[in-house]
A and B are shown apart, each in its own frame.
Chain A
Amino acid sequence: MSVETPDTAQETDSAATSKAGLSRRQFITRGGALVLGVSLTGCAPGSPRVPQFFKIDDSQTEGHEEFTFAPDAFVRITPDSIVHVMIKHIEFGQGPYTGLTTLVADELDADWSQMRALAAPASDALYKNLKMGAQLTGGSTAMANSFYQMRNAGAAARQMIVGAAAETWGVPASEITVQKGIVRHPPSKRQASFGDLVEAAAGQPVPSEPTLKSPEDFVFIGKEMPKIDTLEKSNGTAQFTIDLYRDEMLTVVVAHSPTFGGRVASFDASAALALPGVVSVQEIPQGVAVYAEDTFAAIQGRRALKIEWDNSAAETRSSEEMISVLREKSKMPGAVATNRGDAASTLKDKVGTAAGTHLEAEYIFPFLAHASMEPLDALIERNPIGEGVIASYGAQAPTVDQPVIAGVLGLMPEQVRMDVQMAGGSFGRRATYDSSLAKEAAFVFKNQSADPASRRPTKLLWTREDDMQGGYYRPIATHRLSGSMSADGKIIAWDQTVAAQSFYLGTSLEASIKNGVDYSAVEGASDLPYATDHLRVTNHLIETGVPTLWWRSVGHTHTGFAVETFIDELLEGVGIDPVEGRLALLGEHPRRAGVLRRAAEIADWGRAAAPGRAFGVAVHKSFGSYVAQIVEIEAAESPDRPLVRKVWCAVDCGIAVNPNVIRAQMEGGIGFGLGAALYSEVHIDQGGTVREKNFDTYKSLRLHEMPEVEVSIIASNEDPTGVGEPGVPPIAPAVANAWRRLKGKRVSRLPIVRTT
């Protein structure tokens, strides 16, 4: 069976009881039925909310259960009172299935046990990210762009259910209450479930401006709600793309060029084809595809291929050579990202530094792999209905990929049904602006046979080696900073040059480069929060043949490091406490100062470090959220490296919709950033091949190295902002600052533990 309807999806009752005392069920169902949808397009309060109606192609919905009550694009209630929430964002651990369902449940006054999350189908009209204009998950925006949209959806459904009850019972709507999924008319002691009322509710007018709750009336928002997908992720039943099997399915691995830009010159598949289980070998633009009855045969078949590669168009430089280009460029100022006062001459004339300090620094950042636990994979199969196909995988931008798959297969975009799967991590890797995975999966499906009717389902699977050597890394970058600080801790001038590889240059994103500046390379530096009259931040961009991509917190991964270690060293140079010194410079940034103060409070900042230990601090804003982290480290031997004992973390992300998820994202972000800062680097050797091929050489944090983490969330009435990425940027500079204070030596190149 290719499609699970809500009726057939596993719904495992569980005796497990959450902290909140709620019975846990299997909350995740899959499918994508839409009969008629109404989208409430408004997002912020006060902005116009115009109801929009969309007729969805019925041919896409056969085999799906029709939902009795579908008041808008997001809420589906069936007669058994189950509330299915269509989630437009991919779930890969950051929590939108839980978070967005919480918003609907709250406004609907549902019972948590009746809530289910359902992956939405591909549709920009219905499901675009309101901050991005297309159906994308990225920039830590899932909650920020859905906060009003999902609440409106829940409130509209509630109003229609109440209207239906009022009409059915012949009572005023104002006398009706809804609590935990039960609709009551107390004066007449009548009550009904949502399921009892859905048929009547479907006939109610859709309110264009439903009334939203006041924050003091929230039932679920702000509470420690358990994650909706924990149970299935704790008993092995959670299903990822790799777990999809179909009758007659072929598993496919592709031999990719060992260099970036290399192409197949010729190949000999005879040995591969002689292996049992290998069905076929075909060339595709991405390499040579081995089709097999099972994964082992496919991998063995790939090993047996003899391929001559044409490297005439390949990138053959080493990563060291590319970094040298960046270092050379950053000696001169680049395109201006920020310029106020006159930083250059102020520094040149050494104004006011006699009693203060002057500092020059260079920082170097390597290529980084995302290395999500589930390697890239994608299943494509013929849709039993019509001429089209179904593409099932962890698509981070389904409406971007959909026309690409259609283009390869000679179909119309609407003939490609996108079934977005839960993904085993991404950290940015699945957000490919060029739809490279979708394209490869489509060619794999297509090239097995010229006859569309005879094409078997194909599951493309990347091995870890494909993933590690496959590019789309965090770009290399170098920073040069020059700055001076007066004896009383004022920044006299700050001059920063960021040279980076840009994945906007030469790609479909090129229009985003403004006046020579790639904002994704300077974000977090060009908006320096620390007060100074003389600030200049400039940007050099280079292209290389190595494809790069956003990597959890993007430019902030390096700008946060450069800014936060440089300010720390300036303050150390004039003997001012790093927390006090920062606070004095953050007058116009109360929320940033707020997290810094909170982190200092919970860390009991100001006490002396134990012998052999040191504290370090950093604070950074990214994706609208503010995070401060204080670390306590000691030195570990062989290799010589900081061992992080404890991290105190304060976060201000506006209204804390789910503190449990926010803490989890801070903990995970800290571990992710720490592992990368300590160990991670992708080297490209002379000739263009990638040195790190698997987790044995591409190292990341392991359990015994995970520090104790204490998270404090700032109470706020501001609209919610992101938490998936903002936990990452501060950890590396906080550790580097502590390490410098312990060792007396600046960390000027990451990772801290370098193998070469």
Chain B
Amino acid sequence: MKLKINGQTHEVDAPPEMPLLWVLRDKLKLTGTKFGCGIAQCGACTVQIDGQARRACVTPAIAAAGTEIRTIEGLEGPAANAVQSAWVDLDVPQCGYCQSGQIMSAVALLENVPSPSDEEINRAMMGNLCRCNCYSRIRQAVKDAADQTGGEA
């Protein structure tokens, strides 16, 4: 099976039903994408598939074949830079484990909705659990990033 990840095509030897999460981690050692629940409830495994935030733990690898897959390791561009800078400036992470997923959701949001309302931020980010509850800073960082890109991500 061929998977295009962060602009690069990988030939992967894995059962087609293997979740994309384990292909990324176990087969390709792209470990920024994390395992948290396995049932799309926590968002730690969030990646982008064709520009949309998706949970890699419930996405069979075969379903991602032929798409553009993007992981935290492949983040670049104005929205990604703005999000990651805002994350650093606000010292968002505590334990840090969920943050790849948070950032992937935030970047997908700003690339699709450059100036999101509070409600749009809620909808885009409520699927990403943070047990350290860094939510105040996550929300602020998303807003700061949106301001920084001037709504032109």
Contact = CB atoms under 8 A, between A and B. Distances in A.
Contacts of A227: 91, 93
Nearest to B94: A93
B93 A237 contact: no
B88 A231 contact: yes
Interface string B36-58: 11110110100000000000000
Nearest to B22: A296
Contacts of A694: 37-39, 41
Contact of B26 (A94, A231, A295): A295
B25 A672 contact: no
Contact of B97 (A232, A425, A464, A660): A425
B95 A704 contact: no
Interface string A669-686: 111100100000000000
Contacts of A243: 25, 31
B13 to A, nearest CB: 11
B91 A374 contact: no
B95 A424 contact: yes
Contacts of A226: 88, 91
A579 B85 CA distance: 41
Nearest to B17: A296
A94 B94 contact: yes
B8 interface: no
A238 B96 contact: yes
Interface string B57-88: 00000000000000111010000000011011
Contacts, number: 190
A214 interface: no
B95 A664 contact: no
A290 interface: no
Given A694-B39, A694-B41, A373 B131 contact: yes
Contacts of A231: 88
A531 to B, nearest CB: 35
A703 B42 CA distance: 12
A375 B44 CA distance: 12
Interface string A91-120: 011110000000000000000000000000
A372 B89 CA distance: 25
A229 interface: yes
B26 A294 contact: yes
B3 interface: no
B97 to A, nearest CB: 3
A235 B91 contact: no
Given A234-B84, A237-B32, A229 B133 contact: no
A38 to B, nearest CB: 32
Nearest to A665: B94
Contacts of B71: 236
A291 B135 CA distance: 37
B117 interface: no
A730 B14 CA distance: 50
A239 B42 CA distance: 19
A660 B91 contact: yes
B122 A670 contact: no
B89 A374 contact: no
Contacts of A233: 93, 96, 99
A305 interface: no
A695 B95 contact: no
B99 A706 contact: no
A390 B20 CA distance: 30
A93 B72 contact: no
B69 to A, nearest CB: 14
B132 A374 contact: no
Interface in B89-117: 89, 91-100, 103
Contact of A372 (B92, B131, B138, B139): B131
A695 B36 CA distance: 9
User: Which 10 A/B pairs are nearest by Cβ-Cβ distance?
Assistant: A236-B32, A671-B133, A424-B97, A233-B96, A93-B94, A93-B95, A236-B72, A706-B135, A233-B93, A704-B122
22 contacts: A16-B89, A24-B88, A92-B95, A94-B94, A227-B91, A230-B91, A233-B96, A234-B87, A234-B99, A236-B71, A295-B22, A296-B26, A373-B95, A373-B97, A375-B36, A422-B96, A464-B36, A664-B94, A667-B133, A696-B41, A701-B135, A703-B130
Interface of A: 14, 16, 18-19, 24, 92-95, 226-227, 229-240, 242-243, 245, 251, 276, 294-296, 299, 371-375, 422-427, 461, 463-465, 660, 664, 667-672, 675, 694-696, 700-704, 706, 708-709
Given A294-B27, A671-B132, 15 more contacts: A16-B84, A16-B88, A92-B95, A231-B88, A238-B99, A240-B97, A295-B26, A296-B22, A464-B36, A464-B42, A667-B134, A672-B133, A694-B39, A695-B39, A709-B136
